[in-house]
Amino acid sequence: DQQVKQNSPSLSVQEGRISILNCDYTNSMFDYFLWYKKYPAEGPTFLISISSIKDKNEDGRFTVFLNKSAKHLSLHIVPSQPGDSAVYFCAASALQGAQKLVFGQGTRLTINP
């Protein structure tokens, strides 16, 4: 069973516009959520996270929104830049198992100049 789902395998956005990546989860025990970015031949790198006690966390061009009732989170990138082109993974963990991250399938974001 896929506990964390990213239903869009790919997304194409014009440079300067907003990119919105979505993620849904099914396990109500998850209370910590992260976004990772991955370039080819490299490991995932941490981007931004959010605890379930918040509904928004912002870091520069990146904002993560959490809707607990809908079990949905999203990552907003604005403005999008060509260097943002990568695969983005949503991940989740439960407090007591914070070391065990459950990842979604990833969304390939392409920023077009």
Partner 1 sequence: GAGVSQTPSNKVTEKGKYVELRCDPISGHTALYWYRQSLGQGPEFLIYFQGTGAADDSGLPNDRFFAVRPEGSVSTLKIQRTERGDSAVYLCASSAGPNNEQFFGPGTRLTVL
Residues near partner 1 (CB under 8 A) are 4, 6, 9, 36, 41-46, 89, 91, 97-106
Smallest separation, CB 100 to partner 1 (Å): 5
Q: In this complex, which beta carbon is closest to partner 1, that of residue 9 or of residue 82?
A: 9
Contact in structure between 99 and 91 (CB atoms under 8 Å):
no
Count CB atoms within 10 A of the CB of residue 19.
Answer: 24
Q: In this complex, which beta carbon is closest to partner 1, that of residue 51 or of residue 67?
A: 51
Smallest separation, CB 17 to partner 1 (Å): 26
> What is the Cα–Cα distance from 24 to 3, expressed in whole angstroms?
8
Q: In this complex, which beta carbon is closest to partner 1, that of residue 69 or of residue 99?
A: 99
Beta partners for residue 102, in sequence order: 92
Smallest separation, CB 14 to partner 1 (Å): 26
Up-side HSE of residue 65: CA atoms within 13 Å toward CB?
11
